[in-house]
A and B are shown apart, each in its own frame.
Chain A
Amino acid sequence: MNSDPGVIPSAAVLQAERGISRASSPSKSKQPDRPMLRRLLHLALLCLAIFACAGAGDPASRFNELGHQLMCICGCNQILLECNHVGCPDSDGMRNELMSDVTRGDSDSLVQQAFVQKYGPTVLAAPTTTGFDRTAWIMPFAALILGFGLVIFVVRAWRNRPTPALADGLRPLRGAELEQFRDQARKETDL
C-alpha cells in the first residue's frame, strides 16, 4: 500500500467534492433524488481518501511496512524484518539503514532506490511498477480480463447453440410449467 500520498489525494478529493457540489446545485430542483446521490458520491470519495491515506503513519509503521517490502540479502530468501538468523551478517545493518532513512524523512521510493543502488534489484521483495517489471503486475490482471471475456463469449456461444429437435408429438415446455418441472426434478434428484 502506498504510504506516501498523504496530502495530495486529500486536496484532490476536496476539490472533487467542491466540483461535484457546484455541478449538482443548478439541477437540484429538477431532480429531487440528487442530494442522496451526492451524499453517496461524497461517501465513496471519502472512503477512497481514507484508503489512500491509510498507512501514511509514523516512522515505526513506515519502517514496518518498508521492511516487509525488502529482502534480506544474506541468502535466506526471507523478508528483511522476518530474517531470524542470529549473527546474520546483513539484516541488522540493513534494518539500521532503513530506520535512519525513515527517520530522516525520505520518501518510500527514495528509500527503495537507495537500497536497490546498494544491494541490487533483488533486494526488493516484489517487482517495481516501472519498465519490464511492470509486466509482472499486468499479466495476471490481463489474464483475468481475458479469461472473463472468454467465459462470457463461451457462455453466449453455448446459449446460441441450436436446441436438439424433439420427436414428433412432443411439445416443448416453457415458462412456469418448465420451472415447475425443474423444481420437482431438483427436489427428487438432489436430496
Chain B
Amino acid sequence: MAQIGSYALLLALALSVYSFAAGIVALLSQQHGSERLGETARRAGIVVFAAVLLAAVVLVISAFRDDFSIAYIFHHSNRDLPAPYKFATLWSGQEGSLLFWSLLLAAYGFVLRLRYKTDPRLFAYASVVLAGVQVFFLLLVNFAANPFGLMAGSIPADGSGLNPLLQYPEMVIHPPMLYLGYVGFTVPFAFALGALIMKYPGEKWIHITRRWTMVTWGFLTCGIFLGAHWAYSVLGWGGYWGWDPVENASLMPWLVGTAFLHSVMMQEKRGMLKVWNMWLVFATFWLAILGTFLTRSGIISSVHAFAQSSIGSWFAWFLGITLAVFLYSFFKNKDHLCSEHKLESLVSRESSFLFNNLLFVLLCFTVLWGTWFPKISELVQGNQVTVGAPFYNRVAIPVVLLLLILTALGPLLAWRKTSFESLKRNFRWPFLGAVAVAIFLMITPQSWGSPFGLRPWQDVAYLYSLMAISLAVLVTFTVASEFVRGGRVIAKHTGQGMYASMVQLTHRNTRRYGGYIVHFGVVVVVIGIAGAAFNQDKEQEMAYGDKMSIGAYTLVCRSYTQEENANYGSEWAVLDVYKHGKQIDTLTPERRFYRASRQTSTMPYIRSTINEDLYLVYEGQNPDTGRPILKAHLNPLVMWIWLGVWIILGGTVLALVPNAPAPIRVPAARLVETSAVPVATGD
C-alpha cells in the first residue's frame, strides 16, 4: 500500500511540474500549437487531483487496516481507535495534513480547470499559479514530510494512538474546514496574480473570484469557530480563545480576507482601490502560508502545534519566492492598476470602506506583531517575553469597538456622498435605541443575571462589555432599519405585506442583505464574547454529598464511577445540579486515560443555555489527600457565540445565492402589447 501511495505522490508531482512548465510556455509562446500545449497543461492539472486523491485514499485505507509498517499510521493511530478518528488520521499529523493540504489544493484546481471556458486565458494564468503552489506542497510531501515513510526494523503490533485532545467529534470536521479556508485563498490569489501579469482589463476577474473568496471565507470562519468550540469543549480551561500562535495564525488571513471582501466592492462599484485589493489578496494568501510556517517550524511555541519539524526552511523559501514573484509582477504592471474615479466626500460609503480596511489590517498587524514579538524581543534584548491574552485584549478590544461603530454607520452611508441631514435622519433612532439599551443595562439590578446590572465604573471589563453590547444593539437597529426601509418601498409599490416585501428585497439583492445578516451574526458573536466580563469559576475538593455553589447553582456530588473501553479508561463524577432549590439536571464531567498514547484528557460537561453555560471539569484526585477535585465555571452568554456563527454562515450562503430578477415596471397599457422582460438588479 505504501508503495502505491508513494508512486501516486510522485506521479502527482511530475504532472504538476508539467502543468506549471507547459502552462508557462504556452502562455509565453505566440507560436501556432501553443493552445494545444496549454490544453495539455490544463489536463495534467486535472489528473493531479486524481493522483493526490489516490494517495490520500491509500493513507486512509492504511489507517483502517492498521498498517503499522507505515510510520505515520504507527504514530497517529492504534487498533482500538474509533473509525471516525481513523479517518481523521489523514490530517492528524504533519505529513498527513500536508497531504490533505495538497489534496484540497488539487481539488480547487480541478474545479477551476473544469470551468476554464468562462475566460480561457485568465483561467490559464490562474491554473499556472495554482500549479506552482501545488508543486511546492507536492515537493514537501514527497521529499520532506512523506506520509508513506516506512518503520525501521520490525513492524509494531499496535500504534502509538492519536493525541487524546484530537479524539473529539469536532476534530473530524474542524481541520478540513480550516484547511478549505487556508487553501481556498490560493484561488483568488491565483486569479489576481494572473490578472496582474496579463494586465487583464476591467473588473471581471473580481466577479469571477468573488464567490470563490466568499466560499473560502465561509470555510475559514467555520473552521476558526469550530476550533474555538473544540478548545472550549475539550481543553477544560473554560475558555474558547487563548490568543495562542496557532489561533492567531488562523485569524490573520481571516482578518485580511474580510478586509478584501469589503474593499472589493469599491473596485466593483467605483473602479477604486485596485492596488490595495491586489495587495490584500496577496497578503491573505501569504498570511495563510506564514501561519503554517509559524506553527510547523517550531519557531514559535504553541500548545496547539501538534506537528513540528524541520520543514520550516521549506516554507521560508516558498514565502520568499512568492513575495519576490508578486513584487516583480506588481512593479512591472502597476500602471495597469490606476483608479478611475475620484472620491467626493469623507462622509461616504467609500471612505467607510477605507476606514474599515484600515481597522481590519491594523487588527491583523496587531495579531502578527504580538505573535512575533517574543522572537523580536529575544533578538533585541536577549530574552523572550510572553505576549498573552492581556496584551491582545487591551489592544484589540478598542479597535473592535471602532469596527462596530463603522459596521453601524456603513450601511447608512451612500456611495459618493451622504448629506449630514440624511445621516442624522437614518442614524437617530438606532442611536437612541442603543443608548436606551445601555441605560437599561446599567440601571437594572445585578440579581437579574448577566448582562444586567452592568456597572461600567466597577471594572474596565464591564465598561468594554457595556460598550460592546450597546454597539451591537446599534448595529442590529441599523441593519433592521435597512430591511424595514427597503421593505416599505417594495410594499408601497407592490401592495405586499411587510414580511413578504422584506423577503423579496433580500432575494433581489442577496449579496447586500446577506451581508447585513452576516453583520447581525457578528454582533450576536460580540454579545456572546462580551459575556466573558461576568465569568465566574470555583474549584473545590468534593467528596460524596459535598456541595459547591456558583452563581444561582448548587452542585451536590452524588457519586464517582469508572468505565473501561478498548480505547480508554474513564473516571467520572456524577453531580446533581440545583437552581433555586430545585434539581434541574445531573452532570457527569469525565477524565480519560488513553492506553495507547498513555495520556490523560479531561472531558468537561457543559450545561448550555441561552443565558449561561455551567461548565464542569473533573480534574482528578488531589495527589496529597486523594480527594476528587472539581472546577466549575459559570460563563454567561457563550451560546450566543455559536448561534452567531450559524447566522454568519447563513448570511454567507444567502449572499452566494444569485439575485432574483426584478420585473420592469411598465404602464398597464403597454403590458398588453409587450411582455415584461426580467432583468437582474445590481449589488
Partner-B contacts on A (CB < 8 A): 1, 47, 50-51, 54-55, 68-69, 71, 76-79, 82-84, 86-87, 120-128, 131-133, 136-137, 139-141, 143-144, 147-148, 150-152, 154-155, 158-159, 161-163, 179, 182, 186-187, 189-191
Contact = CB atoms under 8 A, between A and B. Distances in A.
A158 B350 CA distance: 11
B448 interface: no
A55 to B, nearest CB: 6
A155 B352 CA distance: 11
A127 B391 contact: yes
Contacts of B457: 47, 50-51, 54
A60 B662 CA distance: 64
| Interface of A, helix, strand, loop or mixed by DSSP | helix
Contacts of B238: 82, 84
Contact of A189 (B373, B381, B682): B682
B463 A51 contact: yes
Contact of B414 (A69, A152, A155, A182): A182
Contacts of B272: 158
B30 interface: no
A121 B389 contact: no
A126 B414 contact: no
A144 B386 contact: no
Contacts of A86: 619-623, 629
B157 interface: no
9 contacts: A55-B460, A77-B303, A124-B385, A128-B385, A131-B381, A140-B366, A144-B362, A158-B343, A161-B343
Given A55-B460, A68-B390, A136 B370 contact: yes
Interface in B478-506: 486, 489-490, 505
A140 B416 contact: no
Contacts of A179: 419
Contacts of A128: 385
A90 to B, nearest CB: 14
Contacts of A139: 369
Nearest to B623: A87
A139 B272 CA distance: 29
B386 A125 contact: yes
B380 interface: yes
**In the complex, which of the residues B242, B343, B505, B508 has the most CB atoms of chain A within 10 Å of its own CB atom?**
B343
Contacts of B631: 84
Interface stretch (B162-170, B277-285, B353-361, B556-564): B353-361
Given A1-B459, A82-B239, A132-B380, A126 B416 contact: no
B237 A84 contact: yes
Nearest to B301: A77
Contacts of A71: 386, 388
B588 interface: no
Interface string B309-345: 0000000000000000000000000000001001111
B303 A191 contact: no
Contact of B369 (A54, A124, A140, A151): A140
Nearest to B617: A84
Contact of A78 (B237, B301, B459, B629): B237
Interface string B298-309: 000111000000
A147 B276 CA distance: 14
A191 B365 contact: no
Contacts of B373: 127, 136
Nearest to B505: A191
Contacts of A152: 346
B599 to A, nearest CB: 12
B399 interface: yes
A191 B508 contact: yes
A5 to B, nearest CB: 14
**In the complex, which of the residues B237, B384, B463, B681 has the most CB atoms of chain A within 10 Å of its own CB atom?**
B237
Contacts of A83: 237
B381 A151 contact: no
A155 B508 contact: no
Closest 10 CB pairs of A and B: A158-B343, A161-B342, A125-B388, A126-B391, A86-B620, A126-B390, A50-B457, A140-B366, A86-B619, A147-B358
B414 A186 contact: yes
A186 B411 CA distance: 12
A166 to B, nearest CB: 14
Given A55-B459, A82-B238, A189-B682, A151 B355 contact: yes
Interface string B391-429: 100110001000000000000001111010000000000
B236 interface: yes
A34 B486 CA distance: 45
Given A54-B458, A190-B512, A136 B361 contact: no
Nearest to B591: A86
A190 B508 CA distance: 9
B509 interface: yes
Contact of A147 (B361, B419, B623): B361
Contacts of B344: 159
Contacts of B158: none
Given A86-B629, A189-B682, A122 B343 contact: no
Given A147-B358, A189-B682, A191-B486, A51 B366 contact: no
A87 B236 CA distance: 15
Contacts of B303: 76-78
B80 interface: no
**In the complex, which of the residues A51, A71, A87, A190 has the most CB atoms of chain B within 10 Å of its own CB atom?**
A190
Interface string B653-683: 0000000000000000000000000000110
A132 B509 contact: no
B681 A189 contact: yes
B460 A77 contact: no
A75 to B, nearest CB: 9
B66 to A, nearest CB: 32
Contacts of B369: 136, 139-140
A152 B345 CA distance: 11
Contacts of A122: 383-386
**In the complex, which of the residues B343, B385, B414, B419 has the most CB atoms of chain A within 10 Å of its own CB atom?**
B385
A161 B350 CA distance: 15
A71 B343 CA distance: 49
A156 to B, nearest CB: 8
A129 to B, nearest CB: 11
Contacts of A55: 459-460
Nearest to A125: B388
B460 A1 contact: yes
B467 interface: no
B35 interface: no
B387 interface: yes
A54 to B, nearest CB: 6
Contacts of A76: 303
Contacts of B237: 78, 82-84
B490 A84 contact: no
Contacts of A182: 414, 416-417
B377 interface: yes
A136 B463 CA distance: 24
A155 B351 contact: yes
B214 to A, nearest CB: 20
B342 A159 contact: yes
Nearest to A141: B395
Given A51-B457, A137-B391, 10 more contacts: A68-B390, A71-B386, A77-B303, A84-B238, A122-B384, A127-B373, A132-B381, A140-B369, A143-B365, A147-B361
B268 interface: no
Contacts of B346: 152, 155, 159
Contacts of B380: 132
A133 B381 CA distance: 9
A185 to B, nearest CB: 9
B635 interface: no
B343 A155 contact: yes
A155 B390 contact: no
